[in-house]
Amino acid sequence: MAEWTNNPVQTVNPGEAIIFAENPVPCNRGLVWEREGTGLFELKGYTPNVRRCCCQPEPSAIYQVDFGANIAIPTGETVGPISVAITLGGATIPASTMIVTPAAVEQYFNVSRAINALVRKGCCETLTIRNTSAIPILVQNANVIFARPDLAVTR
């Protein structure tokens, strides 16, 4: 498991990624890497060596990605729906879109979503959480957790 956070308020322009400044729980296996200051994560498609027969597909790494934050409309913008979504390999995962409609500017709503992200064995995928609104948004207390239950250590 690995976790990244960013507690201060940040303004995220349309199409841009939410930035995560802190890494309180690092990925000790080197499977999740963040390009500092960008909000761009790289997930590695590591899967343990598993015996399979020739008719089975290659196994994929399955990451559980859990995101949460508070979002609002900045002062000076028009009140209306705002949204963020998780992207994998540059493509927005439609089911990950989180939409809220504040009644006023600077009125924060909590949004969260968890998805399973598949990464083919031996490959890498990029992941971001982006502002999919038409206007800039405020983001505070952003948190993302990556987990690989298939690699959990049992005692």
CB atoms within 10 A of CB 103: 7
122-142 pLDDT, tens digit per residue, is 899 999 999 999 999 999 999
Question: Would you place residue 48 in the very low, low, confident or very high pLDDT band (cuts 50, 70, 90)?
Answer: confident
CB atoms within 10 A of CB 31: 19
Q: Measuring CA to CA, how many Å separate 89 from each of 6, 43, 84, 123, 150?
A: 22, 10, 16, 11, 22
DSSP 17: B
- CA distance linking residue 57 with residue 96, whole number of Å: 26
* Phi and psi torsions of 151, nearest 5°: -105, 10
- CA distance linking residue 101 with residue 109, whole number of Å: 9
Closest CA to 47 of 100, 106, 114, 122: 122
User: Which CATH number does the domain 2-151 belong to among 3.40.1390.10, 3.40.50.261, 2.60.120.40, 3.40.50.20?
Assistant: 2.60.120.40
What is the model's pLDDT at position 97? 98
Q: Over range 14-33, report the average pLDDT.
A: 93
Decide: 1 and 25 in contact? Cβ < 8 Å. yes
Type of residue found at 61? A
pTM: 0.90
